[in-house]
């Protein structure tokens, strides 16, 4: 088993920070009964090893596990590791304290990689793992990373992805989670793009009993094009809790957040969409689109957009809908001979399509469609 990344002293600090940081989701909700504090098993135990497998076809990029990164690429690794996460990311402290499983992706300047780099984390039944992915993209680099979780029954996964990029780079980081029904999955993903860089998160939360996802882009340089797309679909008795944060701390940057969610059965979802534009971040252009579809009377989605805009010369758009399937749309499709259930399925899948479209590779998009189709049908 690789050793922990932090020294015992650093680890104590991280665990202490985890214990004392609030989740930021204390707002009471009519239906949401889960106390996020109560779900962490053996917070101090350090976690099982788990496994990581990294597929990279690029000879110029570095794609390695954390131990190798810390040992052989220490200077590069230090330019990204702990450079994007911030103190308010409660669960990142826990993942950091227990970090030993993970991956480091380094894409050198002007290196464009077409084939996605795939990082797979595996955990056996009942294990707790703390996967930590660090990405450093240099000036003008371009890469797509796909993170996959292959979790056994009853697993607990608390992970971090940190993406640090430089000027004019272009990084897409996609994660799709289809964990078993009794797993718990908590991820914090934070990006800090460089000047004129494009960075995109695409995340799908489809499995697990409980899925907590925090997607953050911190804009510190002008010219950034920041994109977040996330979809989730709690069914049965699943809970999904998603937070997105786009923090415009510098002006002349664009961000676009797209959230598509549905809930069926007794599924419960909660989404908090934060957009902050600092007082000096003039000429920011931020949009947030958040649509939720309720497919049963016992399903809930609580959707809370929060725009905090301190600058006066900005563009900020926000649109949100929560509703059931549209009767007129169903009727229209049935008048073409399509059975009602099939029409409902097509409309529900179509609802997710704009978010699916943000994911890399047709294979992954097809996998998402198949998983969503199974959920709509069940």
Partner 1 sequence: MADQGLRIAGLHASVEGNEILKGIDLAVERGKVHALMGPNGSGKSTLAFSLAGHPHYDVTAGTATLDGEDLLALAPDKRARAGLFLSFQYPAAIPGVKVPNFLYAARQAVRPGELTPAKFRALLLEKMDVLGMDPSFLGRYLNDGFSGGEKKRLEMLQMAVLAPKYAILDETDSGLDVDALQDVGDTIQALRASEEGNATGFLIITHYPRILQHITPDVVHVMIDGRIVKTGGPDLAQRIEREGYDALREETGALA
Size of the site for partner 1 (CB under 8 A): 24
In terms of CB distance, is 104 or 352 closer to partner 1?
352
In terms of CB distance, is 307 or 333 closer to partner 1?
333
In terms of CB distance, is 328 or 362 closer to partner 1?
328
**Residue 229, phi then psi, degrees to nearest 5:** -130, 130
Distance of CA 109 to the CA centre of its chain: 26
Query: Minimum Å distance from CB 369 to partner 1?
Result: 10
In terms of CB distance, is 297 or 336 closer to partner 1?
336
Question: x/- binding map, residues 191-230, to partner 1, per CB under 8 A?
Answer: ----------------------------------------
In terms of CB distance, is 151 or 264 closer to partner 1?
264
Residue 60 · residue 111 · CB < 8 Å: yes
Question: x/- binding map, residues 300-329, to partner 1, per CB under 8 A?
Answer: --------------------------xxxx
In terms of CB distance, is 31 or 331 closer to partner 1?
331
d(CA 32, CA 100): 33
d(CA 205, CA 291): 15
Residues within window 325-364 making contact with partner 1, judged by CB under 8 A: 326-329, 331-340, 342-343, 346-347, 349-354
In terms of CB distance, is 106 or 352 closer to partner 1?
352
Query: Minimum Å distance from CB 351 to partner 1?
Result: 6
Query: Minimum Å distance from CB 227 to partner 1?
Result: 19
Residues within window 43-62 making contact with partner 1, judged by CB under 8 A: none
Query: Minimum Å distance from CB 376 to partner 1?
Result: 12
In terms of CB distance, is 55 or 326 closer to partner 1?
326
Query: Minimum Å distance from CB 293 to partner 1?
Result: 11
Q: Which of 119, 103, 208 is nearest to 155 (CA)?
A: 208
Residues 6+ apart with CB under 8 A from 205: 177, 185, 211, 213, 230, 231, 232, 233, 240, 242
d(CA 194, CA 200): 13
233 is a site residue for partner 1 (CB under 8 A): no
27 CB burial (10 A radius; 0-12, 13-18, 19+): exposed
Query: Minimum Å distance from CB 327 to partner 1?
Result: 7
Kindly provide the residue ranges of all beta strands, DSSP E only, lying in the chain, ordered along the sequence: 51-55, 62-65, 102-107, 117-123, 128-129, 132-137, 142-151, 156-165, 170-177, 184-192, 198-205, 210-219, 225-232, 239-248, 254-263, 268-277, 285-294, 300-309, 315-323
Tell me the C-alpha to C-alpha distance, in Å, between residue 357 and each of 33, 171, 259, 299, 352.
33, 16, 12, 26, 9
1 is a site residue for partner 1 (CB under 8 A): no
Give residues in contact with partner 1 (CB under 8 A).
Answer: 326-329, 331-340, 342-343, 346-347, 349-354
């Amino acid at each position: 088993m690789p050793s922990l990344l932090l020294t015992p002293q650093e680890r104590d600090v991280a665990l202490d920070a985890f214990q004392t940081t609030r989740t930021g989701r204390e707002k009471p909700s009519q239906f949401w009964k889960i106390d996020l504090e109560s779900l962490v098993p053996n917070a101090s135990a350090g976690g099982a090893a788990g496994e990581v497998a990294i597929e990279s076809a690029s000879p110029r990029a570095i794609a390695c596990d954390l131990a190798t990164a810390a040992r052989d690429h220490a200077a590069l690794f230090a330019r990204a590791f702990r450079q994007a996460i911030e103190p308010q990311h409660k669960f990142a402290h826990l993942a950091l304290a227990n970090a030993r499983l993970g991956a480091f992706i380094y894409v050198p300047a002007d290196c464009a990689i077409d084939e996605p780099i795939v990082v797979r984390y595996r955990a056996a039944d009942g294990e707790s793992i703390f996967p930590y992915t660090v990405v450093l993209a240099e000036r003008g680099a371009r890469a797509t990373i796909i993170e996959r979780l292959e979790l056994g029954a009853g697993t607990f996964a608390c992970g971090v992805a940190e993406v640090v990029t430089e000027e004019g780079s272009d990084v897409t980081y996609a994660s799709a989670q289809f964990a078993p029904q009794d797993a718990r999955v908590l991820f914090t993903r934070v990006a800090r793009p460089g000047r004129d860089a494009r960075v995109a998160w695409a995340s799908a939360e489809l499995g697990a009993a409980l899925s907590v996802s925090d997607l953050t882009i911190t804009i510190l340089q002008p010219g950034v094009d920041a994109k977040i797309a996330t979809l989730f679909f709690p069914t049965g008795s699943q809970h999904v809790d998603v937070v997105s944060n786009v923090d415009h701390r510098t002006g002349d940057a664009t961000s676009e957040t797209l959230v598509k969610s549905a809930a069926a059965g007794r599924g419960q979802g909660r989404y908090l969409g934060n957009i902050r534009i600092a007082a000096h971040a003039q000429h920011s252009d931020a949009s947030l689109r958040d649509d939720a579809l309720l497919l049963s009377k016992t399903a809930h989605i609580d959707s809370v957009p929060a725009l905090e805009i301190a600058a006066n010369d900005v563009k900020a758009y926000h649109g949100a809908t929560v509703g059931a399937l549209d009767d007129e749309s169903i009727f229209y499709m049935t008048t073409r001979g399509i059975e009602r259930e099939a029409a409902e399925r097509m409309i529900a899948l179509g609802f997710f399509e704009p978010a699916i479209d943000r994911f890399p590779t047709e294979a992954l998009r097809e996998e998402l469609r198949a998983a969503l189709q199974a959920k709509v049908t069940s």
